[in-house]
Structure 1
Amino acid sequence: MRGDRCWSVEKRSWIALLLGVATGLAATTARAADCPGHPDALGTSRVLVVDPREHPRIGAMQYKETLPLHDHEVVLTFDDGPLPKYSNQVLQILADQCVKATFFTIGHQAQANPEGVRKLAAAGHTIGTHSQTHPLTFNKMTLEQARPEVDQGIASVKAALGNNASALSPFFRVPGLLRAEAVEGYVGSLGVQMWSADFLADDWRNISSAKVYELAIKRLEARHKGILLLHDIHERTVLALPKILHELKARGYRIVQVVPATANRPATPTEPQDWLVHRPSDNVPVAQWPDIPSFDFTGATTHLSLTSTDVSLLSSGPTTTRRAARETAWPPVTSPASRQTAAALPVPAADLFEIQAPIPRLLARHDALPAQPLRRAAKAARRPVRVASLRKR
């Protein structure tokens, strides 16, 4: 009996183990099928659907909101293309790793290389716009100057896409990240999402490809997730990109593709705090004080100065609890009826804001104190001291 029971338990354990192995093999096979010929590819882990009107400006470098990414998730973005010499190489590198990215295309480049724009759409990448001529003066432009740059850039990319104009996403990145209220307001009025970035690799600078790789990984590791800004028009970027993708996979990072919400494709469910660059934490105290309570002081007696009776009481010997309660109760207890019938708060005394003379140090109750000095001290305590007399001193 015991042997049969042990065999039954062992059999169930082996079945569970085999099912787990089968599931893992199926997942690996699926990933390999997603990227034929590259079983060790980085791949694209998920697609994030966003609504530009709900979150019109994103990017931790300049805005309070950024994409709601999970830990170790990365969104790759490329600006300034297409430039066939380098853009085609970038597309091939991404294809070899089955990675999807977002390309912010310049209108003038799209006019010169419409086939490059169509290649982006055919490869399934997300396409946004990056102005018509890439002026580095958006931060100084008026609305009248910014509007044609935005509109013509969108029109040029749509024209390059031809019959597939719907492949253009309502995403815009201002050249040089030189944001300004004029362009931000106009882009938002079009229902287009303004993109900044979470970190850079400085690949537009005259640095080596090794430096581009180093900065990309270093800055990503500092944030553990985010939007990386690169350019598909530089040789240094082409040389650094394979190493960046390899290192992302080695360190457990996952690629996320971002697409806009449509009538048939609802936005990915998120919480408002998921978009915040600085999210509130239960481990960090928040200085949010409760509202000031409403106290009813109607009928209360305000003691503006120390009287001779108070001095006598404090300097006298020990008193019984009943006597102390009777003589020092403040404020007096009022009945609910009297509080309800009170018309208004008592008018402050005329000398309320006068500077009072310092109150003499009171003696302990058990100390002896002659009656005459007490009366003089009490009289001095009641006498107001004028500001003018203080200035003379």
Structure 2
Amino acid sequence: MRTIITKAFFAAAALCSAHAVAIAQDAPMGPTQNGPPPAAEAPAAATPAAVPQPQMGPSAPAAKVTDCPGNPNPLGVSRVVEIDTTGGPGFGFQHYKMYDFLNPKEVVLTFDDGPLPNRTTAVLAALNAECTKAIFFSVGKVAAGYPDILHEVAKAGHTVGAHTMDHKDLSKLPFDDAKADIEKSFSVIHRAVGSGTAPFFRFPFLRHSPETLKYLADRNVAVFSTDIDSFDFKGGKPDALVKRIMANLDKRGKGIVLMHDIQPHTAAAMPALLKQLKAGGYKVVHMTAKTPIQTLPEFDEMVAKDMQGMPTALSDRPLNSVVKTISGQ
């Protein structure tokens, strides 16, 4: 367990520098269309039968003043949208330009690469204090190391999607390897959360191939790009990050915002960012899925073997009922 956690932490720490290199090199992106690639492209491998899993519950209602203890004027959630992921729709105008569902001054908050202690947990605390919601695209290896944190993210009502198992550039991998990286992440994240997770996926470095895009369409998984990239992986101070995000939002007027919950300055910036969104008249839209991801048995078994001894679902007992100081301060 300690080895897994240590590897997860250093894997997460390495993600952002790799992301920065990719952006600096301005590597070409995959196609921007939704749905299948042209006929000349190689077809995706047949999808194995999915194991039946519980349906996701009804979407949470928008937050109200009375729903946010300790905060009489929360940012909250202006509306909840349910996504039918049949055929793999794409969201985020940087790559997928079909579904313009946001109204002016509406934002979707998204976070990649977590979960990590003291970072994802700080982001979660800031969101909870404003009774607002986000989408977390988790990396499988990191989720394997900190399943309790991801479990808390889902328990708080946030949407949990996948961001591959190892944060590799899938556009450069053979299709079978890319498929395994995708499916392992679905299985690990579902195992960590212990309940239905969303069929939402974001490609590392925002790069896909025609084959992986078609595969996710066949799997009925929605794919996400972004409208506003915070570039928080480049570092900097929290106040500068807030100013950059707000300036880009004010310029565009709305959008899906990409951030990283493994970044310490992002976690530190969240309270101020949420207050600035509220002051600027922005409203948060929470994206949920009509049905949960259906993980594949072969990858569930593979993950279960790799993670022997780790919990499949975590206890909901409060901290003070599990850990109690009996001496000292």
Of 214, 219, 239, which residue of structure 2 is paired with 1:210?
239
CA shift at 1:85, angstroms?
1.9
Q: Deviations over 1:311-337 (max 9, x none)?
A: xxxxxxxxxxxxxxxxxxxxxxxxxxx
**Contact conserved, 2:164 with 2:185, CA < 8 A, in 1?**
yes
Which residue is 2:86 aligned to?
A: 53
* Runs of 4+ with deviation above 2 angstroms: none
Confirm whether residue 139 of structure 1 aligns to residue 163 of structure 2.
no
Which residue is 1:187 aligned to?
A: 216
CA shift at 1:34, angstroms?
1.4
Higher CA-based Rg:
1
Confirm whether residue 37 of structure 1 aligns to residue 70 of structure 2.
yes
Q: Deviations over 1:288-319 (max 9, x none)?
A: xxxxxxxxxxxxxxxxxxxxxxxxxxxxxxxx
CA distance in 2: counterparts of 1:89 and 1:106, whole angstroms: 18
The letter of the residue matching 1:253 is Y
Which residue is 1:261 aligned to?
A: 290
SS at 2:64's partner residue?
Answer: helix
Which residue is 2:15 aligned to?
A: none
CA distance in 2: counterparts of 1:67 and 1:83, whole angstroms: 32
User: Which protein has the bigger helix share?
Assistant: 1
CA distance in 1: counterparts of 2:112 and 2:99, whole angstroms: 18
CA distance in 2: counterparts of 1:58 and 1:87, whole angstroms: 23
Of 266, 273, 290, which residue of structure 2 is paired with 1:237?
266
After the TM superposition, which residues 124-163 of structure 1 pair with which residues of structure 2 at under 5 Å, given as runs? 124-135=157-168, 137-162=169-194
Aligned CA distance change for structure 1 residues 31 and 158 (closer, same or farther; 3 Å): closer
User: What's the C-alpha RMSD, in Å, of the aligned pairs?
Assistant: 1.5
SS at 2:111's partner residue?
Answer: strand
SS at 1:236's partner residue?
Answer: helix
SS at 2:181's partner residue?
Answer: helix
Of 135, 138, 143, which residue of structure 2 is paired with 1:105?
138
CA distance in 1: counterparts of 2:99 and 2:238, whole angstroms: 27
CA distance in 2: counterparts of 1:67 and 1:238, whole angstroms: 29
**Contact conserved, 2:109 with 2:257, CA < 8 A, in 1?**
yes
Q: Deviations over 1:75-121 (max 9, x none)?
A: 00000011012111110000000011000011111110110111011
CA shift at 1:250, angstroms?
0.8
The letter of the residue matching 2:246 is I
CA shift at 1:148, angstroms?
0.6
Of 181, 191, 204, which residue of structure 2 is paired with 1:175?
204
**Contact conserved, 1:100 with 1:257, CA < 8 A, in 2?**
yes
**Contact conserved, 1:49 with 1:258, CA < 8 A, in 2?**
yes
Segments of 5+ residues of structure 1 without an aligned counterpart are 1-29, 264-393
- TM, length-normalised to structure 1: 0.57
Which residue is 1:80 aligned to?
A: 113
**Contact conserved, 2:232 with 2:263, CA < 8 A, in 1?**
yes
RCO comparison, higher one (Cα < 8 Å, 6+): 2
After the TM superposition, which residues 317-356 of structure 1 pair with which residues of structure 2 at under 5 Å, given as runs? none
Segments of 5+ residues of structure 2 without an aligned counterpart are 1-62, 293-329
**Contact conserved, 2:88 with 2:218, CA < 8 A, in 1?**
no
**Contact conserved, 1:199 with 1:228, CA < 8 A, in 2?**
yes
CA shift at 1:58, angstroms?
1.6
The letter of the residue matching 2:189 is V
**Contact conserved, 2:161 with 2:199, CA < 8 A, in 1?**
yes
Which residue is 1:388 aligned to?
A: none
**Contact conserved, 2:82 with 2:288, CA < 8 A, in 1?**
yes
SS at 1:197's partner residue?
Answer: coil
Of 237, 240, 247, which residue of structure 1 is paired with 2:276?
247
Confirm whether residue 122 of structure 1 aligns to residue 160 of structure 2.
no
- TM, length-normalised to structure 2: 0.67
CA shift at 1:244, angstroms?
1.2
Overall identity of the aligned pairs, in %: 36
